[in-house]
Amino acid sequence: MSSLAFLGGTDTVTGSKFLLTSGGRSLLVDCGMFQGPREISQLNWQDPPFAAAPPDEVLLTHAHIDHSGYLPRLAGRYAYEGPVRATAATVDLLGVMLPDAARLQEETAEYLNRKGYSRHHPALPLYTPEDAERALRLLQPAPYHEWFPVPVGQARLADAGHILGAAHVTVEVEGRRLVFSGDVGRWGIPVLKDPEPPAGADLLLLESTYGGRDHPDDLDPDSALAAIVKRVAGRRGVMVIPAFAVGRSQEILFRLRRLEDEGRVPALPVYLDSPMSIEATELYRAHVEEHDREMKALEQAGVAPFRPARLRLTRTVEESKRLNDLEPPFIVLSASGMATGGRVVHHLKRRLPFSQNLVAFVGYQAVGTLGRSLVDGAPRVHIHGDEVEVRAEVVMLDAFSAHADQGELLRWVQAAAPRRIALVHGEDEGRQALAGALREVFAGEVLLPARGDSLEV
């Protein structure tokens, strides 16, 4: 008999962890960190059910921290020493992302201690750079489109079209087939191949980030981006784009470069102000096995796909600070995507009070984040302890999502023809809406598991 435990990423979009157990062996699919407000991020400190007996193996869908960022905790605090399998591109991305996550943990703990904000004395990081190194040593690349053995049976990875290296995972266990969607990407976006349809599933774990939404199809992403670039250029403002270092940053660079090549926007200076984005962009170029046809053709023609004409890379903090005094108009692309930390927060503090500026969000903004407050129209926000007036124009470019919307998810599900669906990785609204839509077109069972639930499979 085999069972599946939902340990995270159920009614939240972070902390994805699913433990599959069969015949005394176990496989953890995704090892994500909880992120966001305190009541959610606190969950990282609770002992997981596998604290005493770590899983035999870990398999990752993709590199985003909400799917991978708990690995250093597993390798550090819980001394996990088994293999961690993921696609080759995911392995390379983690080499950049996990050390960065560890640094952020240490910086946050140090900040809390200095300010005396923590309820715990002293505040500790969830893990250290050494723990991240420990986790990185466990990584083993796994192939796409080939079955390979895992402790509970066999597994296979296929393109998810979400970020570089993202896969959906099929696991065969005791004659049953489970599909873990990971994050489902979108069709027809640049650089990466489209999501592949999943093979038939007895049980499908389906993400529902945008389960309650259909992305607008009246405005394509290029036109939306072109419109705001022209607007900011016209009024000599600064455009700040908070973007995830991995995924959205590369898509924005690609689209800006293409719009310039097509003569649809003026070539403004573009500052990529995130060391991690810079490294991730290199990996996007290097992993040619992930590229779609347009990308392959560009590379063959000698075009640098991610390089708008006046792109500048700012690596050091000093270079980043210099952007404060630069003559507009220009564009700053910086992390983090939900403005919960990173250099972009400094740029927001500097640019929000002025109406000629524009802040463009290009990804999902979780409840409780600075990004969400701005998108919801807050007239003032608190940044680094100061009250900041919001006079800049704030736009949400919905057309830019990296997640499939309701219609796209339904289309993807139909290919899997699952007997049962468990909706995961969604806030309440998205999950409920998608459950309603699924029940209209799908005869099987639709489950909405809570964190801690288990299921026989």
Where does this chain touch Zn ion (CB under 5 A) — which range of 59-67, 144-152, 346-354, 357-365? 59-67
For residues 64 and 213, which CB has a smaller minimum distance to Zn ion in the complex? 64
User: Which residue has 């002293």 as its token pair?
Assistant: 122
Q: 4: phi > 0 → left, psi -120 to 50 → alpha, else beta; which?
A: beta
Indicate whether 183 belongs to the interface with Zn ion (CB under 5 A): yes
For residue 160, give both structure tokens.
């998810």
Contacts to Zn ion from residues 9-38, by CB under 5 A: none
| Residue 64 engages Zn ion in binding (rule: CB under 5 A) | yes
CA distance 300 to 197: 29
Smallest separation, CB 402 to Zn ion (Å): 7
DSSP state of 323: G
* 347 interacts with Zn ion by CB under 5 A: no
Q: Cβ of residue 247: shortest distance to Zn ion, in angstroms?
A: 7
Strand order in the sheet with 358-361: 311-313, 270-272, 330-334, 238-242, 358-361, 393-396
Query: Which CB atom, from 67 or from 73, has the smaller least distance to Zn ion?
Result: 67
Residue 160: left (phi > 0), alpha (psi -120 to 50), or beta? alpha
Shortest separation between residue 183's beta carbon and Zn ion, angstroms: 4
Residue by residue, DSSP assigns 324-367 as GGPPSSEEEEES-TTSSSSHHHHHHHHHTT-TT-EEEE-S---T
Binding part of the chain for Zn ion, among 56-64, 73-81, 278-286, 427-435 by CB under 5 A, reads 56-64
Applying CB under 5 A, the span of 29-37, 49-57, 179-187, 420-428 interacting with Zn ion comes to: 179-187
Q: Kindly state whether residue 186 participates in binding Zn ion, applying the rule CB under 5 A.
A: no
Minimum CB distance to Zn ion, residue 297 (Å): 27
Nearer to Zn ion by C-beta: 64 or 168?
64
| Alpha carbons 453 and 422: distance in angstroms, whole number | 11
**Which one, 64 or 287, has the nearer CB to Zn ion?**
64
- Strand-strand pairing, 167-173 and 176-180: antiparallel
Q: Which one of 61-69, 119-127, 287-295, 383-391 is the stretch in contact with Zn ion (CB under 5 A)?
A: 61-69
Give buried/exposed letters for 246-265 (b at 16+ CB in 10 A, else e): bbbbbbbbbbbbbbbeeeeb
* Nearest residue (CB) to Zn ion, 44 versus 357: 44
Of 91-99, 175-183, 256-264, 268-276, the segment contacting Zn ion by CB under 5 A is: 175-183
User: Is it true that the peptide bond before 329 is cis, omega within 30 degrees of 0?
Assistant: yes
Number of residues that bind Zn ion (CB under 5 A): 2
User: For Zn ion, which is the closer residue by CB, 131 or 183?
Assistant: 183
Task: Answer yes or no whether residue 207 interacts with Zn ion by CB under 5 A.
Answer: no
Task: Specify the DSSP element, H or E, that contains 99.
Answer: helix 88-115
**Cβ distance to Zn ion smaller for residue 68 or 357:** 68
If one counts every other C-beta atom within 10 angstroms of the C-beta of residue 47, the result is 9
- Which residue's Cβ lies closest to Zn ion? 64
User: With contact defined as beta carbons under 8 Å apart, do 102 and 72 qualify?
Assistant: yes
- Binding span for Zn ion by CB under 5 A among 57-65, 335-343, 363-371, 407-415: 57-65
Contact residues for Zn ion (CB under 5 A)? 64, 183
